[in-house]
Amino acid sequence: MRRIILAFICVSYLVPGSVVAQDPAFSQFFSSPLSLNPALTGKFNGALRVASNYRNQWPQINNAFITSTVAIDGNILGNRLPAGDAWGIGALAMTDKTANGILNSNYFSFSTAYQKSLDENGWNQLGIGFQGTYANKRLDGSKLHFEDELDQQGGWTIPSSEVIDNRQVNLNYFDLNVGVLYNGSTDGNNNFYFGASAYHITQPKESFTGNSFYVLHPRITVHGGYSFPLSPDNNNNFIHFSGLFSKQANATNTMLGAAWSNNLNGNDANPINFYLGVWTRFSNLTDAIIPYVGLDVGPFTVGMSYDVNVSSLKTASQSQGGVEISLIYIKKHDEGSRSIPCPKF
């Protein structure tokens, strides 16, 4: 079964129209803001943010998908903008290894977003963001076996007629993404947001054989969340709801869930927050149950989640969907700067 899955992964990139290519995705979508929505660039409480993510999906199937990112973003021209407005810039690097390194995809993105304040407090903002991406993909044909290589003894000894046999083939292209975001609060403690993004609006063409192409379809995502304290008189305990729906060609992805947070030291200025939550991913039928645990310590937030596979692939994957780790560093604003509500999950 594992060989069949890996063969399917490889064939999908060689035969245009056999399957639609899909973007790498994180279960902790809230911890990778620049790969979710360009309008989230610079949308955080602080002067500088550095975020990294690591995901190993279906590790029992010979490292089917390993994805990692590192991103940095921040705000510029703070005192020169109208009160409550913010202008963010950022950069993202992502690498995705498929089928134990048979296909390696690398993405380098630069983004910018402007948040326009809708009130004098800056609690309600409307933002728009843009992102340009350079993509490089490399297919290692030396790690592939083709039907015409199989000899009568069951070995792979016959030279293949495939054009990529024992070759490394590269493709490169530029891409453009766009997003919008509304973020609001009624009292400065709660927070709610709604966003939408479109990736691959240029619909780049991909081909490893040179004689036929397939179009990378746009990925459309809508997402939102709501955070609020459990007691109006105590900000030590919060509930954070969030979810998203994305569609790329015929593939859909829906995630819904929530987390509870507790301020362990009761210090609002330098809290130690503990998070415990669970999300569910749907793809036609229930795909995975995803427990999450996280911790804020000083400027760092670390999160860990695990996909418990409950789909039809659970036999091949031994119900092991994937482990995911996120680490975020946020440098605080200078003393005296105003803090405004921002999306957390």
Q: DSSP string covering 31-59, please?
A: G-HHHH-GGGTT-SSSSEEEEEEEEEE-T
What integer pLDDT is reported at residue 161 of this predicted model? 52
pLDDT average, residue stretch 95-109: 86
pLDDT average, residue stretch 243-250: 92
What integer pLDDT is reported at residue 5 of this predicted model? 38
What integer pLDDT is reported at residue 18 of this predicted model? 42
- Look at 340 and 155; give whichever has higher pLDDT: 340
The full length of the chain comes to: 345
SS3 sequence of 247-259: EECCEEEEEEEEE
pLDDT average, residue stretch 206-218: 75
Which whole-number Å values give the CA distances from 332 to 42, 138, 207, in the listed order? 13, 39, 45
pLDDT exceeding 70 applies to what percent of the chain?
77
What integer pLDDT is reported at residue 333 of this predicted model? 79
**Cα gap 300→170, rounded to integer Å:** 37
Residue 14 has pLDDT above 60, yes or no: no
Among 11-20, 60-69, 100-109, 227-236, whose mean pLDDT is lowest?
11-20
Question: Which H or E run contains 167?
Answer: none
Q: Which sequence spans correspond to the domains of the chain?
A: 2-135+170-331
Global pTM reads 0.87
Inter-residue contact 94 to 68 (CB < 8 Å): yes
pLDDT tier at 249, thresholds 50, 70, 90: confident
Residue 345, SS3 per DSSP: coil
Of 114, 39, 41, 127, nearest in space to 77 by CA: 114
What integer pLDDT is reported at residue 142 of this predicted model? 61
Tokens representing 331 are 């440098």
Residue 264 has pLDDT above 70, yes or no: yes
Inter-residue contact 302 to 326 (CB < 8 Å): yes
What integer pLDDT is reported at residue 16 of this predicted model? 45
Residue 110 has pLDDT above 80, yes or no: yes
**Cα gap 73→182, rounded to integer Å:** 19
Tokens representing 160 are 């293949």
Residue 60 has pLDDT above 70, yes or no: no
- Look at 271 and 283; give whichever has higher pLDDT: 271
Instruction: Render pLDDT for 179-195 as a digit per residue (tens, 0 to 9).
Output: 999 999 998 889 999 99
Kind of pairing, strands 320-331 and 48-57?
Answer: antiparallel
Instruction: Render pLDDT for 120-146 as a digit per residue (tens, 0 to 9).
Output: 878 899 999 999 999 998 887 666 655
For 58: left if phi > 0, alpha if psi spans -120 to 50, otherwise beta; the answer is left
pLDDT tier at 216, thresholds 50, 70, 90: confident
Instruction: Render pLDDT for 294-314 as a digit per residue (tens, 0 to 9).
Output: 999 999 999 999 998 887 665
Distance of CA 250 to the CA centre of its chain: 19
Question: Which H or E run contains 4?
Answer: helix 2-14
What integer pLDDT is reported at residue 131 of this predicted model? 98
Domain 2-135+170-331 coded CATH 2.40.160.40 = yes
pLDDT tier at 326, thresholds 50, 70, 90: very high
pLDDT tier at 1, thresholds 50, 70, 90: very low
Give the DSSP per-residue string, 212-279. Answer: --EE---EEEEEEEEEEEEETTEEEEEEEEEEEEEEETTEEEEEEEEEEEEESS--SSS--EEEEEEE
